[in-house]
C-alpha cells in the first residue's frame, strides 16, 4: 500500500463514505483526522503503559501508523470489536517489537507524518501526568484531543460539563448543581457537543465516547 501523505488540516470532503471508509481508501483529509485524533492516545499509552521515553514513544507511534496504513483496509468492527481496541493491539505489538530490538529503527512513515505526530504530541506531554496509570487515561486522552479539535465552537463551561459527565462519569443532575445551571442547559450542552463529535469524527470514535442522550 502506498504510504499516506499526511499533512496538517481538518477539512473533510463531503461524501457518502464514512470517515473510516475514506481513510481505508487513502483519502488524505480523513487520514489526517485519524492521525490527529489518535496520535495523543498512542503516545500516552507508549509513555504511561510501556514507560517509553518521549523520543521512543514518537518513533513507535510512527511504526503504529505505518502498520495502520497497511492493515486498516482489513479492519471490520464486527470482527475486531471497537476501533480503539484494534488500535491498542497494534500499539502494544509495536512496543513489544521496540523492546526486542537492540536499537530503535527510524520510523518509516515519512517526514510529513513525523511532523504532524510530533506537533500533536508536543501539546500532550505536559498533560500526561494528569491521567498517568489511571484506568480512564486512554479514553480521557482521546476525549481531550477530540475536544481540542473542535473546542473553538463551544464555551469553556460546556466543555467542562461534557468532561465531567463523559470522562469523570458524574451524575447529570449533580453536574447541573455544580455549575449552577438547569438540567436542560446540561442536556443541551451534551447534545450539541455529541452531535459535533459525531459529524466530525463519525465512526472513528467508539460508542462509549458519548454520554447518554436520554433524559433520566
Sign of the four-CA dihedral 34, 22, 153, 196:
negative
Distance from C-alpha of 173 to C-alpha of 127, rounded to nearest angstrom: 28
Kindly indicate the confidence band of residue 212, based on its pLDDT and cuts at 50, 70 and 90: low
Structural contact between residues 43 and 58, judged by C-beta atoms closer than 8 angstroms: yes
Residue 110 has pLDDT above 80, yes or no: no
Q: How far is CA 192 from the centre of its chain?
A: 19
pLDDT of amino acid 167:
86
55 is a domain residue: yes
138 is a domain residue: no
> Do 164 and 107 share a structural domain?
no
> Do 20 and 81 share a structural domain?
yes
pLDDT of amino acid 117:
60
> Do 126 and 176 share a structural domain?
no
51 is a domain residue: yes
> Do 167 and 85 share a structural domain?
no
pTM of the model: 0.73
> Do 206 and 167 share a structural domain?
yes
pLDDT of amino acid 140:
87
> Do 115 and 37 share a structural domain?
yes
149 is a domain residue: no
Domain that residue 4 falls in: 1-131
pLDDT of amino acid 134:
42
> Do 182 and 117 share a structural domain?
no
Report the domain count for the chain: 2
- CA proximity to 206, closest of 82, 95, 88: 82
> Do 196 and 90 share a structural domain?
no
Residue 129 has pLDDT above 50, yes or no: no
Structural contact between residues 186 and 164, judged by C-beta atoms closer than 8 angstroms: no
> Do 24 and 102 share a structural domain?
yes
144 is a domain residue: no
Amino acid at each position: 500500500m502506498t504510504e499516506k501523505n499526511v499533512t496538517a488540516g481538518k477539512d473533510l470532503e463531503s461524501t457518502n463514505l464514512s470517515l473510516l471508509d475514506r481513510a481505508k481508501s487513502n483519502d488524505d483529509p480523513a487520514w489526517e483526522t485519524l492521525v490527529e485524533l489518535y496520535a495523543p492516545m498512542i503516545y500516552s499509552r507508549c509513555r504511561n503503559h510501556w514507560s517509553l521515553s518521549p523520543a521512543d514513544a514518537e518513533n513507535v507511534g510512527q511504526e503504529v501508523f505505518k502498520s495502520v496504513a497497511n492493515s486498516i483496509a482489513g479492519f471490520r468492527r464486527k470482527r475486531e470489536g471497537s476501533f480503539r481496541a484494534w488500535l491498542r493491539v497494534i500499539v502494544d505489538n509495536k512496543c513489544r517489537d521496540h523492546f526486542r530490538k537492540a536499537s530503535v529503527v527510524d520510523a518509516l512513515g515519512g517526514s510529513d507524518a513525523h511532523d504532524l505526530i510530533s506537533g500533536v504530541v508536543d501539546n500532550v506531554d505536559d498533560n500526561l501526568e494528569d491521567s498517568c496509570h489511571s484506568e480512564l487515561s486512554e479514553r480521557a486522552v482521546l476525549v481531550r484531543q477530540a475536544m481540542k479539535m473542535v473546542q473553538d465552537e463551544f464555551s469553556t463551561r460546556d466543555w467542562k460539563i461534557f468532561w465531567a459527565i463523559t470522562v469523570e462519569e458524574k451524575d447529570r443532575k449533580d453536574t447541573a448543581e455544580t455549575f449552577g445551571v438547569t438540567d436542560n442547559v446540561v442536556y443541551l450542552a451534551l447534545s450539541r457537543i455529541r452531535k459535533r463529535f459525531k459529524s466530525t469524527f463519525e465512526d472513528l470514535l467508539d460508542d462509549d465516547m458519548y454520554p447518554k442522550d436520554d433524559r433520566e
